[in-house]
Amino acid sequence: MTNLNQDIRDKLSRLNIFEKIIVVNFVLFVFTSIILKFQGFGFGLEWLSLSKSASKVILMPWTLITYGFTHYSFSHLFFNMLVLYFFGRSFSNLFKSYLCLKVYLLGILSGGLAFVLVYNIFPSGILNTVGPLVGASAGVRALIIFLCVYLPIKEVRFFTFQFPLKYIGIALVVLDIPGLFSQNSGGTIAHFGGYILGYLYARQFQKGIDMGEFIDKVTAYFSKSKSNLKTVHKKTNNKNSSFAGKNKEEFDRFTHQKQIDLILDKISKSGYESLTQVEKDFLFRAGK
C-alpha cells in the first residue's frame, strides 16, 4: 500500500497545473456523486454550490470558489475539462503555472460574484427561476479570454482552417449572449464574469501589473508560517551576492521573467511562428 501511495504521489507531482485541476474536479465529482446517494449523512452539493442569495453566501463564503469545482452531471464536467485541457496546454507552454492558476481561480471568483450581484440587483429578473450555481465554466472562459486578449494575432489551426486567436474569443462571447435569456441564464452570467476577469487580467498583465499578486502574498505568508514552525534556527548565508539591490535568487528570477516577457511581446507582435527554436524551447521549459 505504501508503494502504491508513493507511486500515485509521484504521478501527481509530474502533472502540470491544469492536469491537477482536472484531477481535482473529477475526484470531487465522484465523491459528491456517491455522497448524494446517502443524504442521510447530511452532506450534499448545497455545501459546495453557490447560492444566489447574498445572505447564504455570507454564511458560506467558501462556495464562491468551491462551486467552480463542482458539477451536477458527468457531461457538464467532461465538456468543461476537455476545453480546459486543450487551452490549458497552450497556456502552460507560454506562461508559468502560478499565473495559470491565478487566472483560473479569479475567473471562478469573478463569475460567482457576477452571479450573486446580478440576482440581488434584479431579484425578480432573469435569474429568478435558477437554482444554485455549479461548474468550472467561468474559470475556463477567463483563461481563454486571457489568451485571446494577450496574444490576439497568434495563429491557431482548426482542421484545415487557420485564424488569429482573437476570433475564438469574439465567437465565444457572441455565442454566449442568447444564454442570458435561457433556462441557464445564471450560468451565462457567470461566464461573462469570467470573460471580464480574463480581459482585465490580460490588459493589466500587458502593462506589467499582476492582478493576482495578492494570491502570491497570501501563499508566501502561509509558506513562511509553515517554514517557521519547522525551523528552529536559520543560518545566515553570507555568500548571497547582491545584484542591483537584489540577492542572486531574486535577480535570477527577475531576468528569467524578463526573458519570458520579451518572447511573449514578440509573439504578440509577430505571431508564435516568428520565434526561433531556442525561444520555443525556452517557453516550453518555463511553462513546466
High-pLDDT (> 90) share of the chain, %: 25
106: containing domain? 2-213
Q: What is the pLDDT of residue 252?
A: 63
Q: Which residue has the cell 454550490?
A: 49
Q: What is the pLDDT of residue 216?
A: 79
Residue 232 in any domain: the answer is no
Residue 282 in any domain: the answer is yes
Rounded mean pLDDT of 106-134?
81
Task: Decide if 67 contacts 134 (C-beta within 8 A).
Answer: yes
Lowest mean pLDDT among 38-52, 106-120, 178-192: 38-52
Burial of 164 (0-12, 13-18, 19+ CB in 10 A): middle
Q: How far apart are CA 11 and CA 103, in angstroms?
A: 25
Q: Within the chain, how many helices (H) and strands (E) appear?
A: 12, 4
* Co-location of 192 and 138 in the same domain: yes
Q: What are the pLDDT digits (tens) for 249-284?
A: 665 666 777 777 777 777 766 766 677 767 776 766
Q: What is the pLDDT of residue 234?
A: 46
Q: What is the pLDDT of residue 149?
A: 92
Q: What are the pLDDT digits (tens) for 37-72?
A: 565 444 567 788 898 888 999 999 999 999 999 888
* Co-location of 132 and 254 in the same domain: no
The residue ranking higher by pLDDT, 286 or 258, is: 258
Nearest to 141 by CA among 198, 63, 206, 64: 198
Q: Which residues contact 285 (CB under 8 A, 6 or more apart)?
A: none
Q: List, as one string, the DSSP characters of 172-233.
A: HHHHHGGGGGSTTHHHHHHHHHHHHHHHHHHHHHHTT--TTHHHHHHHHHHHHHHHHHH-S-
* pLDDT at 128 > cutoff 60: no
* Co-location of 205 and 286 in the same domain: no
Tally of structural domains, the chain: 2
* pLDDT at 183 > cutoff 60: yes
* Co-location of 7 and 112 in the same domain: yes
Residue 86 in any domain: the answer is yes
* Co-location of 81 and 12 in the same domain: yes
* Co-location of 112 and 27 in the same domain: yes
Q: What SS3 class is residue 158?
A: strand
Q: How far apart are CA 212 and CA 185, in angstroms?
A: 28
Q: Are strands 161-164 and 246-247 parallel, antiparallel or unpaired?
A: unpaired
* Co-location of 175 and 60 in the same domain: yes
* Co-location of 30 and 173 in the same domain: yes
Q: What are the pLDDT digits (tens) for 214-249?
A: 887 877 776 666 555 555 444 444 445 444 555 556
Residue 194 in any domain: the answer is yes
Q: What is the pLDDT of residue 12?
A: 66
Rounded mean pLDDT of 149-166?
80
- Find the CATH number of the domain harbouring 64: 1.20.1540.10
* Co-location of 53 and 131 in the same domain: yes
Task: Decide if 42 contacts 125 (C-beta within 8 A).
Answer: no
* Co-location of 207 and 264 in the same domain: no
Q: What is the pLDDT of residue 235?
A: 46
Provide the grid cell at 182. Answer: 435561457
